[in-house]
Structure 1
Amino acid sequence: MKRLYSFFIGILLIILILWGITSRLDKKNTQGTTDKLVIYNWGDYIDPDLLKEFTAETGIQVDYQTFDSNEAMYTKIKQGGTTYDLAVPSEYMISKMMEEDMLNKLDHNKIVGLENIDPHFLNLSFDKGNQYSIPYFWGTLGIVYNETMIEHAPSEWEDLWSSEYKDSIMLVDGAREGLGIGLQALGYSLNSKDKNHLEEAADYIYQLTPNIKAIVSDEIKGYMIQDAAAIAVSYSGEAAEMLDGNENLHYVVPSKGSNLWFDNMVIPKTAKNIDGAYAFINFMLRPESALRNAEYVGYSTPNSKAKAILPDEIKNDEAFYPSEKTVDSLEVYENLGAETLGLYNDLYLQFKMYRK
């Protein structure tokens, strides 16, 4: 009986020891040291080989998931169904997520390579002191045109309303972009909260309907490369891919005003692998990583050391690395608040329904 009692005591001790080890591991994982890193980023927005090299170097497996809009990304993280360790939202959405306490404040002591970032892309209005975000890519919204399919090349937003471009324009699908074009063509800010300005801009883009061939997203690249449309309103990185695929295409940023955007890396509050997120940020801050990523994706790198070693034909191309004068005329999207953003979305949806 005594032996049986000792046996059960031994089993109990083993169970308690195993439970203690499991508890410590669980606690460790919640503090950010798992062997998997879940990244939430835009589609086709990183060189896949960089992810493989990161894993080979750190032993951290990467689960790379994608979104197609800031709003979709925000909703998914807000719902909390999937835990993301690192995300790459745009400036106005970073501001919104900061306000709603959705992001971890960064420990700059854990960040290596921030000095590689051009000071022009640090300490911006949406995140003073880069307390919550680290620059990833930046770019512009502009006009791609096929020189063989039109007689006169557009250079400003208002040119798109020319009758010469009937059924010729591919318009990127987005409320801020669509109404922003109308606002800036009318001389207003693309961050206007004035209801009269917004309704006037909506009426103005209604008048663009005869010239719009389609309102699409990623499909724009294929259409333009294959000569399926003469003009596209798209982002600079997408434009770079189009130009690579079709020598007749050109990209121009309207000199009177357009959107200057920034996508930055952030660590959501729900992150489990915080150490892994810092490791990835540091990996991407290396000039050689940023260089390869910029060459693969086509967007403009904020990493000054990476830009310095880009081919001259890329870093000296003002369509993708605009002059300071052009940059000064551009506007960054601001967080407009739920009510105003709702108005943008409603007016844009009405425009899309109207053109059908």
Structure 2
Amino acid sequence: MKRLMSFLVAIGALCLLLFAGSRHLQQSQGLTSGNKVLTLYNWGDYIDPKLITKFQKETGYKVQVETFDSNEAMYTKIQQGGTNYDLAVPSEYMVQKMRKAHLLKPIDKSRVHGLTNIDKRFRNLAFDPENRYSIPYFWGTLGIIYNDQYVKPGAVQHWDDLWSPAYRNKIMLVDSSRDIMGMALLSQGHSVNTTDIAQLDAAKAKLDRLSPNVKAIVADEIKMYMAQNEAALAVTWSGEASEMMANNSHLHYVVPSEGSNLWFDNLVIPKTAKHYKAIYAFINFMLKPENAAQNAAYIGYATPNDPAKKLLPRSVVNDKAFYPDQTTLAHLQVYQDLGNRMVGIYNDKFLEFKMFKH
């Protein structure tokens, strides 16, 4: 009986060892599989899907894409934690804010190949000196798009032109407080980063005077409305304008010569990132000129990748509306992180304008 009991105990111990070994193997396999994943937190429709497929085939990494619709939503999600995003794509002022909040990991330049492909005008900018935390992904401007069926070509060249009584109920505005408040500030000769309350009050008062001309304040649907001739003019971003123009030959984009916003969207590594081999493989993949050019052709925004520009049609890179010359660039302003209090003031004034409109 004792021999039988000893045999049963031995069998039980062997089963436990086999079970434990099986569990360990499963966990190891799961870990290995998990390490072959890259989670990208990006704006919607902001990368050519064919590039995702190409990257996966070349590297064996599986890319999971999650999307956000505003810098603020992206910031909140990463700040709250509980996410394992490997790369995110914030705009310049948000890179500055995330850096201050210790939400980003520094970029290991020794693992990056192709950083010199980025136009040196767009490296080492004030929001991220020496590109310690970010790599430019796309750049562009804020401007005016108009339909030549309703607006005479050349009639709209400046922000102040939008206030003409001729455009009553004919203008659409993108739903963005920094951009629309910035437009009003620029029209009065002020900085888009002002913290002067008197200047902000004056900008808000001027926006209120624009209200009779505003048909709607909308988000992504502005592209569809303008392509379908729903409004004569709109204030929007260069990349959105490019997409509209591709769908309607009557549309034209203008960057007012007195100044506008120069924005950058950037690849960054959130502090909760885990898959570093995949991260640097993807960064290096996107820095290759042929991939950057393909992405720019698909998205319609300007690429900061200098060699990639040589692979794009001359008609695109010679279009000063989308690749402004140095004279125009000198009059453009980059948004800065103004801190929660001032951002709240900008948002409140824009909300008051929207309520005034309705």
TM-score computed with the length of structure 1 as normaliser: 0.95
Partner of 2:147: 146
CA contact (8 A) 1:147 1:153 kept: no
Separation in structure 1 between the aligned mates of residue 141 and residue 39 of structure 2, nearest angstrom: 28
Number of residue pairs matched?
Answer: 353
Question: For 1:108-132, what per-residue CA distance to the aligned partner results, in whole angstroms no more than 9, with x for missing partners?
Answer: 1111111211111111111111111
* Residue 23 (structure 1) shift: 6.5
- 2:93 partner letter: Y
Amino acid corresponding to residue 6 of structure 2 in structure 1: K
Contact 2:38 2:62 in 1 (8 A): yes
Alignment of 1:80-95 (within 5 A): 80-95=81-96
State the Cα distance separating 1:274 from its structure 2 match.
2.4
Letter in 1 for 2:263: W
CA distance in 1, matches of 2:219, 2:10: 70
Q: Contact conserved, 2:290 with 2:311, CA < 8 A, in 1?
A: no
Identify the residue that residue 112 of structure 2 maps to in structure 1.
111
C-alpha separation in 2, matches of 1:27 and 1:126: 36
8 Å CA contact 2:86, 2:272 repeated in 1: yes
Identify the residue that residue 126 of structure 1 maps to in structure 2.
127
Q: Percent identity?
A: 53
Residue 218 of structure 1 deviates from its aligned partner by 1.1
In structure 2, distance between residues paired with 1:138 and 1:262: 4
Query: 2:180 aligned with 1:181, yes or no?
Result: no
Equivalent residue in structure 2 for 1:2, among 6, 16, 20: 6
In structure 2, which of residues 244, 258, 261 is the aligned counterpart of residue 259 of structure 1? Answer: 261
Deviations 1:257-301 (A, max 9, x none): 100000000111112322212111111111110001001100000
Moved more, 229-238 or 146-155: 146-155
Distance in 2, Cα, partners of 1:130 & 1:150 = 42
Secondary structure of the 2:140 match is strand
- Where does residue 70 of structure 1 map in the other structure? 71
**Partner deviation per Cα, 1:304-326 (whole Å, 9 max, x = no partner):** 00012211101111000001010
Q: Which amino acid aligns with 1:161?
A: W
Per the alignment, residue 36 of structure 2 pairs with 35
* 2:241 matched residue in structure 1: 239
Structure 1 Cα separation of the partners of residues 29 and 132 of structure 2: 29
Aligned residues of 1:267 and 1:274 also touching (Cα < 8 A): no
Shift of 1:208: 0.4
Would you say the 8 A contact 1:145–1:232 is kept in 2? yes
Over alpha carbons, which structure has the higher Rg?
2
Structure 1 unaligned residues grouped into runs of 5+: none
Asked whether the 8 Å contact 2:83–2:272 carries over to 1, the reply is: no
Amino acid at match of 1:159: D
Aligned-residue CA RMSD (Å): 1.7
Shift of residue 217, structure 1, vs aligned partner: 1.4
- Offset of 1:18 from its aligned partner? 4.7
Look up the SS of the partner of 1:7 in the other structure: helix
Q: Distance in 2 between matches of 1:213 and 1:278?
A: 45
- In 2, Cα distance between the equivalents of 1:4 and 1:269? 51
What is the alpha-carbon distance in structure 1 between the residues aligned to residue 102 and residue 55 of structure 2?
29
CA–CA distance in 1 between the matches of 2:313 and 2:132?
A: 32
Is 1:271 the counterpart of 2:273? The answer is: yes
Aligned to 1:58: 59
Whole-Å separation in 2 of the counterparts to 1:139 and 1:178: 16
| Distance in 2 of aligned mates of 1:114 and 1:234 | 29
Could you tell me which residue of structure 1 aligns to residue 18 of structure 2? 14
Check whether the contact 2:262–2:332 (CA below 8 A) recurs between aligned residues: yes
Q: For 1:81 and 1:8, how far apart are their aligned partners in 2?
A: 40
- Cα distance in 2 between the residues matched to 1:39 and 1:172: 26
Indicate the SS of the match to 2:104.
Answer: coil
2:136 partner letter: P
Q: CA–CA distance in 1 between the matches of 2:8 and 2:107?
A: 55
For 2:37 and 2:194, locate their aligned partners in 1 and report how far apart those are by CA, in whole Å. Answer: 42
Number of the residue aligned with 1:340: 342
Residue 283 of structure 1: aligned partner: 285
SS at match of 1:149: coil
**Paired amino acid for 1:302:** P
Counterparts of 1:75 and 1:28, CA distance in 2: 30
In structure 1, C-alpha distance between the alignment counterparts of 2:304 and 2:260, rounded to whole Å: 19
Match of 1:46 in 2: 47
Task: Tell me the distance in 2 between the aligned counterparts of 1:53 and 1:27.
Answer: 24
Shift of 1:94: 0.5
What do the CA deviations read for 1:10-69 (whole angstroms, capped 9, x no partner)? 33433454565566677778xxx6222211111121111111111111222222121111
Aligned to 2:304: 302
- CA deviations on 1:225-273 (whole Å, 9 max, x unpaired) are 1111110101001111111111111111011110000000011111232
Letter in 1 for 2:316: I
Q: TM-score, normalised by structure 2?
A: 0.94
Please tell me whether the aligned partners of residues 147 and 251 of structure 2 are also in contact (alpha carbons under 8 angstroms): yes
